[in-house]
């Protein structure tokens, strides 16, 4: 069938919305009509090259080129058709995209860490999970899909392992947000920082991910939640969703956290800025108290290998640095669970959507993200 998708043809270019050819689903695959897709910062890392395997490494490994690629990994849609052998979904089901599939059989899946499923190794590779071939084409050319999803499209074919069935009464925009940013931010606080009642938490960077670390810390019972962001709108939104204090930089947060904790400093600092650079880790560790945890959620350029941290303090103050992907949980449990928290009114999602866009307005949406105007922009297909 023919459909439309936002395609990136190379680094530092705009997304180009164009007609593509979509093959029917093969074994284990589903055809999805994408209803909503969130504009997460991770897709921007494709544009800047932070999250693109360098071409010389690809060529040396004999891998196909990264571009053209259909972006989008935060998404919600309806199943239009199922391929042979699909057992967990049927036509008409509503789904959240899962940017890590879960095979259910690897070491990580069977030990309750489906966010680390071995199939995630293929995230930046070409083709479908089933057989490595493309379903998305323009003319003779196959097109890659980000995270085996490519939600910046009207329709797509994905593996059933990348789709999580959700309650059909839920608004698609809320489902789309939970498919990455909410699960990641909430899990950074609840699963990775393991926030306990009464603790002091600092969240650095209040975008679609960080605002949900604020909400996670609030729901977990933190006493002090310090939201750090240079942009006023972000700080105001954080205050309305659970933050107790704000600062425009980590340096400005130092005296606030010192005062709030009588010098003990934060139990956890969660790093969710748009891009992680090495100098931010040292600053975050300085805000972290004895026995505390610094959680690294934001994505750094793939080749960033330097961080300036005080190694003496790391050991002597028994601090911990913890990376986190997809909220360190089990999306097949966490996504429906977070949506139930939304339905009960405890997790706010509608308030996170600053603006919706049509697929054709995607570049406008990303410009607003770069300019710090959106908590989250969401593409809604008619």
Ligand X SMILES: NC(=O)c1ccc[n+]([C@@H]2O[C@H](COP(=O)([O-])OP(=O)(O)OC[C@H]3O[C@@H](n4cnc5c(N)ncnc54)[C@H](O)[C@@H]3O)[C@@H](O)[C@H]2O)c1
Where along the sequence are the contacts to ligand X (CB under 6 A)?
Answer: 40-42, 45, 180-181, 184, 204-210, 228-231, 234, 272-275, 280, 297-299, 324-326, 369, 372
Picked from Zn ion, ligand X, none, the partner binding residue 22 (CB below 5 to 8 A depending on kind) is none
77 binds, among Zn ion, ligand X, none (CB under 5 to 8 A by kind): none
Q: Could you give the CA distance from residue 293 to residue 319 in angstroms, rounded to a whole number?
A: 6
Regarding 176 and contact with Zn ion (CB under 5 A), the answer is no
- Binding of residue 42 to Zn ion (CB under 5 A): yes
Rounded CA separation 68/144 (Å): 6
Q: For residues 30 and 174, which CB has a smaller minimum distance to ligand X in the complex? A: 174
- The answer to whether residue 147 forms part of the interface with Zn ion (CB under 5 A) is no
Of 206 and 265, nearer to Zn ion (C-beta) is 206
Q: Cβ contacts of residue 102 below 8 Å, gap of 6+? A: 109, 114, 117, 119, 161, 330, 331, 332
- Site size toward Zn ion (CB under 5 A) is 7
Report what 109 binds from ligand X, Zn ion, none; CB cut-off 5-8 Å by kind. Zn ion
Q: How far apart are CA 39 and CA 239, in angstroms?
A: 23
**Considering the rule CB under 5 A, would residue 298 count as an interface residue with Zn ion?**
no
Can residue 159 be called a binding residue for Zn ion (CB under 5 A)? no
Least CB distance to ligand X at residue 234 (A): 4
Nearer to ligand X, 209 or 335 (CB): 209
Tell me which of Zn ion, ligand X, none is bound by residue 103, counting a contact when its beta carbon lies within the kind-specific cut-off of 5 to 8 angstroms: Zn ion
Q: Is the dihedral of CA 75, 79, 83, 88 positive or negative?
A: positive
Residue 161 vs 213, nearer CB to ligand X: 213
299 interface partner picked from Zn ion, ligand X, none, CB below 5 to 8 A per type: ligand X
Nearest-CB residue to ligand X?
Answer: 207
Q: State which residue, 31 or 339, has the beta carbon closest to ligand X.
A: 339
Among 80, 103, 219, 231, binds Zn ion (CB under 5 A): 103
Residues near Zn ion, by CB under 5 A: 40, 42, 103, 106, 109, 117, 180
């Amino acid at each position: 069938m023919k459909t439309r998708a936002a395609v990136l043809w190379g680094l530092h270019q705009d997304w180009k919305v164009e007609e593509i050819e979509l093959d029917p689903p093969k074994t284990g695959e589903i055809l999805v009509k994408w209803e909503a897709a969130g504009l997460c910062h991770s897709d921007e890392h494709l544009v800047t090259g932070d999250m693109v395997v360098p071409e010389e490494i690809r060529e040396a490994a004999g891998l196909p080129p990264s571009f053209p690629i259909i972006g989008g990994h935060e998404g919600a849609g309806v199943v239009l058709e199922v391929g042979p052998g699909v057992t967990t979904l049927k036509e008409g089901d509503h789904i959240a995209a899962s940017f890590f599939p879960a095979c259910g059989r690897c070491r990580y899946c069977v030990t309750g860490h489906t966010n680390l499923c071995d199939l995630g190794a293929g995230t930046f590779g070409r083709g479908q999970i089933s057989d490595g071939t493309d379903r998305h084409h323009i003319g003779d050319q196959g097109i890659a899909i980000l995270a085996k999803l490519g939600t910046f499209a009207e329709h797509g074919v994905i593996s059933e392992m990348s789709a999580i069935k959700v309650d059909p009464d839920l608004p698609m925009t809320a489902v789309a947000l939970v498919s990455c940013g909410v699960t990641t931010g909430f899990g950074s606080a609840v699963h990775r920082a393991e926030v306990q009642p009464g603790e002091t938490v600092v969240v650095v960077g209040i975008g679609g991910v960080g605002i949900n670390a604020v909400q996670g810390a609030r729901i977990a019972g933190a006493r002090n939640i310090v939201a750090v962001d240079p942009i006023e709108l972000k700080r105001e939104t954080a205050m309305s969703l659970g933050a107790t204090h704000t600062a425009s930089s980590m340096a400005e947060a130092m005296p606030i956290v010192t005062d709030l904790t009588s010098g003990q400093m934060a139990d956890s600092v969660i790093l969710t800025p748009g891009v992680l650079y090495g100098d931010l880790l040292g600053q975050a560790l300085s805000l972290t108290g004895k026995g505390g945890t610094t959680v690294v959620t934001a994505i750094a350029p793939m080749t960033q290998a330097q961080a300036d941290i005080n190694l003496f303090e790391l050991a002597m103050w028994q601090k911990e640095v913890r990376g986190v992907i997809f909220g360190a949980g089990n999306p097949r449990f966490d996504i429906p669970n977070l949506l139930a928290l939304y339905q009960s009114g405890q997790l706010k999602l509608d308030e996170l959507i600053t603006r919706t866009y049509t697929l054709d307005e995607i570049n406008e949406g990303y410009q607003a993200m770069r300019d710090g105007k959106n908590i989250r922009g969401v593409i809604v297909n008619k």
